Amino acid sequence: SGARVRRAHNKRLPQYLERGVDVKFSDVAGLGKIRLELEEIVKFFTHGEMYRRRGVKIPGGILLCGPPGVGKTLLAKAVAGEAGVNFFSISASQFVEIYVGVGASRVRALYQEAKENAPSVVFIDELDAVGRERGLIKGSGGQERDATLNQLLVSLDGFEGRGEVITIASTNRPDILDPALVRPGRFDRKIFIPKPGLIGRMEILKVHARKKPMADDVDYMAVASMTDGMVGAELANIIEVAAINMMRDGRTEITTDDLLQAAQIEERGMLDRKERSPETWKQVAINEAAMAVVAVNFPDLRNIEFEGMLSRQSLLDHITVQLAPRAADELWYGEGQLSTIWAETADNARSAARSYVLGGLSEKHHGLSNFWAADRINEIDLEALRVMNFCYDGAKEILQQNRKLMDAVVDELVRKKSLTKQEFFNLVELHGVIKPMPPSI
C-alpha cells in the first residue's frame, strides 16, 4: 500500500484508519466520464500547491450519490490509493447509536486521527443516517443526531480548502440531507454514480474475472445482457457464485454457463427483495413512528447534551424508546414475530440496560462492590432483563394509549417516506399525546 502512517511520539493507534487499502481506478469499472472527476480529486492531493497558488478552491467534501452497491466505497478507496494517502472510514450509522454525546466525540476522534496522519481521505458511508435535515424523525433521539451533525459541520469547516484532509461521503438520498451540509466549503460537490449500463456491466464482470480462472471463450456480453438493473456488488457476486459452481463440479475453469446460472440465482434474490418491499415499508414506518411517539413522552431525553452520561431516569427513558419498535411489532403484528427491523434498537436497549445495572443505578444493586465476581454475572443479566421488561411494558402502554397518533404518523410516513419534526409535531397537536403515569421500577 502507498499509505504512510506518521506516528508522533507514542500516540495511540488510529482507530478509524483502514490499513492496506490498495485500490486503484483500474479496479473500478464502467465509470465512463465520472472517472475524470475523480482523477481531479486525486490531483487536489498530488498538486495541491498548484491549485492554491492559482487561487482555486479545493473542496472540503465530495458527495458520492447513488444506489447501494454501485461502487461508491470502492471509488473512495481508489482515490486514496491513487493519491497514496491514508484512508479513514466510518459508517454514519455508527454515529447515531447508543449514548448521547458518543456520536459527536466519534466524529471528533475521526478527524483528529485523519489530521494527525494527513494527507488523508475521510470516508463517511451512509451520510444520510446522520445528515438528515435536522428535525427529521428517525432512529434514536433527534437531539443526539443534532450534536453529531453539528460536530461534523465544525470538523468539515476546520479543513476548508486546504486539501490535506478531504472528506468523501456516500449517500443514496442527497435530497434529504441537511442544507447546512451541502453549503459551499462543505459537501459542495456532488458526483452521481448511476447503475451501470450494458457495457458497464460487461466491464465490471471482466474486472472481477481478472482474479479467477476463466475459460478463454467466456461470453461476457451474454451475461451482461441478462443482468439488466444489477449493480457492481451483484455482478461481483455472480463471479463468486460461478467460481463455487466450478469447484463443486471439480472443474478448473469458469464457463459462460456457470456465469449464466449464477446470474439467474442473483436475479431471483433481487426479485425476492423487490417483492418484499411494500410490506417492509409499512413495518419501517411503524418502527419509526413508535420511536417518535414514545420519545415525545420524554421531553427530557431530547435536551440532554452532556457527554456519554445519562441520568437514571433518562437512561430508563432511552431504553424505553429503543424498545418501542419491538413493542409496536408485538401490538401490530402479534407476538412471536421475529424481525430484523427492531433487532438493532433492541440491542441498544440491552446494552443500555446492562449499563444501568452495572452503573449501580438499579435499586437492587445500589452500592454493590465486586461486580465482576463470576456468580454476579448471571445476576446482572437477570436484573438487566427485569429493567428491560419494565421499560418494554412502559413502551407498550404508551403505544396503546396513543393508538390514534401512531396510526396517523404511520399513514403519513408510508405516504411521504419521511416527516419533518414540524410535520410530526403537527400530528401530535392534532391528535394529542397521552402520557401514562410511569410506574416506579
Q: Which residues bind ligand ADP (CB under 6 A)?
A: 28-30, 68-74, 170, 204, 207, 232-233, 236
Q: Which three cell numbers stand for residue 288?
A: 419509526
Separation of alpha carbons 311 and 192, rounded Å: 44
Q: Which residue, 165 or 202, is less far from ligand ADP as judged by CB?
A: 202
Question: In the bound complex, what is the minimum distance in angstroms from residue 76's beta carbon to ligand ADP?
Answer: 8
Q: Which residue, 119 or 232, is less far from ligand ADP as judged by CB?
A: 232
Q: How do strand 61-65 and strand 165-171 relate by DSSP bridges?
A: parallel
Residue 306 near residue 378 (C-beta atoms within 8 A)? no
Separation of alpha carbons 19 and 177, rounded Å: 30
Q: Which residue, 69 or 84, is less far from ligand ADP as judged by CB?
A: 69
Q: Which residue, 240 or 407, is less far from ligand ADP as judged by CB?
A: 240
Question: In the bound complex, what is the minimum distance in angstroms from residue 427's beta carbon to ligand ADP?
Answer: 34
Q: Which three cell numbers stand for residue 172?
A: 443514496
Closest residue to ligand ADP using C-beta atoms: 232
Q: Which of 113, 144, 234, 288 is catalytic?
A: 288
Q: Which residue, 70 or 410, is less far from ligand ADP as judged by CB?
A: 70
Question: In the bound complex, what is the minimum distance in angstroms from residue 236's beta carbon to ligand ADP?
Answer: 4
Question: In the bound complex, what is the minimum distance in angstroms from residue 182's beta carbon to ligand ADP?
Answer: 19
Residues 6+ apart with CB under 8 A from 14: 5, 88, 113, 116, 117
Q: Report DSSP letters for 215-274, one per residue.
A: -TT--HHHHHHT-TT--HHHHHHHHHHHHHHHHHTT-SSB-HHHHHHHHHHHHHHHHHHH
Residue 350 near residue 416 (C-beta atoms within 8 A)? no
Separation of alpha carbons 113 and 57, rounded Å: 24
Question: In the bound complex, what is the minimum distance in angstroms from residue 185's beta carbon to ligand ADP?
Answer: 25
Q: Report DSSP letters for 12-70, one per residue.
A: PPPSSB-TT----GGGS-S-TTHHHHHHHHHHHHHTHHHHHHTTPPBPSEEEEE--TTS
Residue 253 a catalytic site member:
no
Using a 10 angstrom Cβ sphere, with 0-12 exposed, 13-18 middle and 19 or more buried, the burial of residue 331 is middle
Question: In the bound complex, what is the minimum distance in angstroms from residue 300's beta carbon to ligand ADP?
Answer: 37
Q: Which residue, 236 or 265, is less far from ligand ADP as judged by CB?
A: 236
Q: Which residues are catalytic?
A: 288
